[in-house]
Amino acid sequence: MNHLLTCMGEILIDFLPIEEHGTTLGFRMHPGGAPFNVAVGLARLGMPVAFLSKMADDFSGAICGAILSSKGCAPTLSCSNSAA
């Protein structure tokens, strides 16, 4: 029997600069935060993982949901709305 592990918490997004010759050309988004990192790590180990969080119904929330899915985590327990 497989048990679903659930990680709860926030997803943080770091915006790290893209630099060339001392000039900042833009920024890259890097999701993280302890709950997110644990969920991704467990998924990489082949564990069935869900992530419980509140995500905004905007670009950042969509990116976070897509990244969770691409890493093998089920964001199905996460709720999104415009007031997140």
Q: Could you report the per-residue pLDDT of 74-84, keeping only the tens digit for each?
A: 766 556 565 55
What are the C-alpha distances in Å from 49 to residues 24, 40, 59, 63?
A: 37, 8, 23, 18
Q: What is the pLDDT of residues 39-78, one digit of tens each?
A: 999 999 999 998 888 888 888 888 888 888 898 887 665 5
Report field, pTM of the whole predicted structure over 0.85: no
For residues 74 and 50, the answer to whether their CB atoms sit within 8 Å is yes
